[in-house]
Amino acid sequence: MLTRGAQVRADAQAVGRPPEVAGGPAAPRRTRQAVLAAGLVAALGLLVLAGLASVALGARAVPPATVLDAFLAPDGSNDHTVVRQLRVPRTLLGIGVGAALGLAGALMQSLTRNPLADPGLLGINQGAALGVTVALGLLGVSDPAGYVWFAFAGAALTSVVVFSLGSAGRSGAGPVRLALAGVAVGMALTAASSAILRMDAQTFDRMRFWLTGSLAGQDAGTLVRLAPFMAAGLAVGLLLGRPLNTLSLGDDAGRALGVAVTRTRVLAAVAVTLLCGSATAAAGPLWFVGLAVPHAVRAVVGPDQRWVLPYSALVAPVLLLTADVAGRLVARPGEVQVGIMCALLGAPVFILMARRRRIAAL
């Protein structure tokens, strides 16, 4: 019979290890670590392929040789201009936005121990979108470096409101309560954004595609202005894998094992705000990326956050770029916005999860 202190120490030895190998011999653990590391390299390779497809494919296909010439020997031709000034910034922005949303979803699901936590489902993206709408529609702030602060404020305030509503009462912040609170708050915020847009036809024309979720229409300047915020959020979030593993045992066990619980939660909240605010400011409110990708990743790598977080940051932009390319191909010479394509791809996953009534372990 283990005492509580001995049990905590035993749990500490297992923290951060997949359950099936915790306490096992060192060789199988090293083998699994090598396999997971190889999987990260494979995910990076898929991201490179998705990026190349995003540059080469679209309403007008550009041969690979022409894409290469656009970088090595640009001559100012129409194809080279499309590649360098439109598709490359769009692809890099898709990589940043996808990584931000994937990591934000994984952080939220781990921090709240809520399998339904997602920047879109909990209304955080809608809060950031309302902030941008206020900045553009009411205050005339048109520079991304300016309205991104409104996106941060909207994301942070929405997080506080949703978690306050979802935690009210004796039962606490259960998954269903948080999801219901997020959906209700998100609908209210979307209605507020729509009301502001109806007041100004010019602002509505400028934002109607952005509110659907789109990577189109953003130049390299937008990426340069928002990249520092995305990079900061990614750096902070990726460093939280080990303390989040410990907190999965509960707050009391986390404190007993030396984790600064409050600091970890604050850093995670800051990371989520930076990631969601910058991603929404760049591409609009996107659904399902932050919900579906972490679940798919955990089904492969297990619950260890030290692997779930980087995998989510790599797999999510693959999904986003694939959806963006598909949206450009299915409606030539026009395109279907990436927000619509992500919903089309993510909705079946969400329905499957609901039908099976089983969520990957956190």
* Per-residue model confidence (pLDDT) at position 7: 53
- Is the per-residue pLDDT at 313 higher than 60? yes
The rounded distance, in Å, linking the Cα atoms of 116 and 295 is 10
* Per-residue model confidence (pLDDT) at position 80: 84
Q: What mean pLDDT comes out for the span 316-338?
A: 89
Least reliable range by pLDDT among 169-183, 188-202, 225-239, 306-320: 169-183
The rounded distance, in Å, linking the Cα atoms of 165 and 187 is 15
Angle between helix 64-72 and 26-56 (nearest 10): 90
* Per-residue model confidence (pLDDT) at position 44: 96
Cα–Cα distances in angstroms (integers) from residue 119 to residues 49, 126, 362, in the given order: 27, 9, 17
* Per-residue model confidence (pLDDT) at position 174: 58
Task: Tell me 22's DSSP state.
Answer: T
- Is the per-residue pLDDT at 235 higher than 90? yes
- Is the per-residue pLDDT at 1 higher than 70? no
| Res. 171 pLDDT band, cuts 50 70 90 | low
In CATH, the number for domain 85-356 is 1.10.3470.10
Tokens of 296: 């798919």
Which has more pLDDT, 10 or 169? 169
The rounded distance, in Å, linking the Cα atoms of 284 and 203 is 14
Q: What mean pLDDT comes out for the span 158-181?
A: 74
* Per-residue model confidence (pLDDT) at position 20: 44
The closest alpha carbon to 162, from 219, 135, 123, belongs to 123
| Res. 361 pLDDT band, cuts 50 70 90 | very low
pLDDT tens digits along 262-304: 888 889 888 988 998 889 888 888 878 888 899 889 888 989 9
pLDDT tens digits along 118-165: 787 778 888 888 998 888 888 878 777 788 888 888 888 998 888 888
Which residues contact residue 124 at a Cβ distance below 8 angstroms, ignoring those fewer than 6 apart? 155, 158, 159, 162, 182, 272, 276
Which burial class, exposed, middle or buried, applies to 211 when counting CB atoms under 10 A from its CB (0-12, 13-18, 19+)? Answer: buried
pLDDT tens digits along 70-125: 888 787 778 888 888 889 999 999 999 999 999 999 998 988 777 777 787 778 88
Least reliable range by pLDDT among 207-211, 294-298, 320-324: 207-211
Least reliable range by pLDDT among 37-51, 172-186, 269-283, 312-326: 172-186
Question: In the chain, what are the domain boundaries?
Answer: 85-356
pLDDT tens digits along 19-69: 444 444 566 778 888 899 999 999 999 999 999 999 988 877 788 888 888
- Is the per-residue pLDDT at 332 higher than 60? yes
Say what the pTM is.
0.83
